[in-house]
Amino acid sequence: MERLLEIKNLKTSFFTHVGEVKAVGGVSFYLNKGEALGIVGESGSGKSVTMMSLMRLLADTGKIIDGEMIFEGKDLAKLSEKEMEKIRGNEMGMIFQDPMTSLNPVFTIGNQIMEPLLKHKGLSKKEAFNKSVELLSLVGIPSPKERMKQYPHEFSGGMRQRAMIAMALSCEPKLLIADEPTTALDVTIQAQILELMKDIKQKLNTSIILITHDLGVVADVCDRINVMYGGLVAETGSTRDIFYNPRHPYTWGLLNSIPNPESTVREKLKPIEGQPPDLLKPPVGCPFAARCNYTMKICELKRPPLFQITPGHSSACFLNHPNAPKIKAPVGRGSL
């Protein structure tokens, strides 16, 4: 498979009045063409900051300290703002949790979808109109021609998210980044939007990065998953690896906090107790040690490296060391 993106040892910090917050502490991962990758973790895990670093859309206090972000052979960390703007408009599309933050309430939906087509693709007004109608239809908006004339407030939440996806797809991006795209939607609409993303991947061969706090959301859409914790990758693997052979106690916790679709009894979901680490003073050892039920002495003294389980499946947990005590994973089908 051909690589689209490779992130190597990315470190991003925020410089606040109380000190340096090390939001991303050295993250590496890749994305192949036509593949969907889920980035999963609680708030504060570094997942959204990783993506904002990639888009080079960090707040003023944020800075990429180290690392490379190779996208189609170019290191995005080294590009000028002007070059980056071109990439954002043409090669990357982004969808946010709340479409109202990206849609302008005073312009019609049609105008907003047409704008990037006129600006970046150099289409005539008529061509941009026709392409926008086509895009609205592709994302499942009925009577797209009529809908072009409407304003965002005339659309329901789910329809607004569809319109956002149409906007993000207008320049045929190679990469679509979706940050919690379904969190604000009810369950039925959420399922429809996820189905739409799967469809886009299949029909347009667009690579997708789906960022979410909910492992359940990525199960059906993503080929691979990165679980992030405390600004680091805790576990990475195929969706199958993560669901059936999870090898990190944090992944176990996340799996325990989603309903099991195969279960016939109503289970009580268990949230992960405790708080994420303070990234003003990141722990020297494993960032999950304070919340982990299996903490050993070494966990507090040394940061666990990524242990390879199988090619493509790794976990940053000392329980995967050959000399670690053997433990039966409480979820999935594997044991350590």
Residues 191, 193, 195: CA angle, nearest 5 degrees:
70
Could you say which residues in the range 299-318 bind ligand SF4, by CB under 6 A? 299, 304, 317-318
DSSP for 260-307, written as a single string: -TT-SS-PPP-PPPS----TTS--SS-TTGGG-TT--HHHHHSPPP-E
**Phi, psi (degrees; rounded to nearest 5) at 19:** 135, -170
Residue length of the chain: 336
Nearest residue (CB) to ligand SF4, 55 versus 298: 298
SS3 327: coil
Taking alpha carbons only, the member of 161, 135, 133, 134 closest to residue 147 is 133
**Which of 113, 133, 168, 319 contacts ligand SF4 by CB under 6 A?**
319
Binding string, residues 3-32; x marks residues near ligand SF4 by CB under 6 A: ------------------------------
Could you say which residues in the range 243-302 bind ligand SF4, by CB under 6 A? 248-249, 286, 288-289, 292, 294-296, 299
SS3 141: coil
Whether 210 and 226 have beta carbons less than 8 Å apart is answered as: no
Smallest separation, CB 300 to ligand SF4 (Å): 8
Smallest separation, CB 320 to ligand SF4 (Å): 8
Nearest residue (CB) to ligand SF4, 38 versus 230: 230
DSSP state of 60: T
Structure tokens at 294: 């299996």
DSSP state of 65: E
Report d(CA 106, CA 68) in Å as an integer.
39
Smallest separation, CB 319 to ligand SF4 (Å): 5
Smallest separation, CB 225 to ligand SF4 (Å): 17
Smallest separation, CB 328 to ligand SF4 (Å): 14
Number of residues that bind ligand SF4 (CB under 6 A): 14
Smallest separation, CB 19 to ligand SF4 (Å): 25
Nearest residue (CB) to ligand SF4, 180 versus 235: 235
Could you say which residues in the range 194-253 bind ligand SF4, by CB under 6 A? 248-249
- Contact footprint for ligand SF4 (CB under 6 A): 248-249, 286, 288-289, 292, 294-296, 299, 304, 317-319
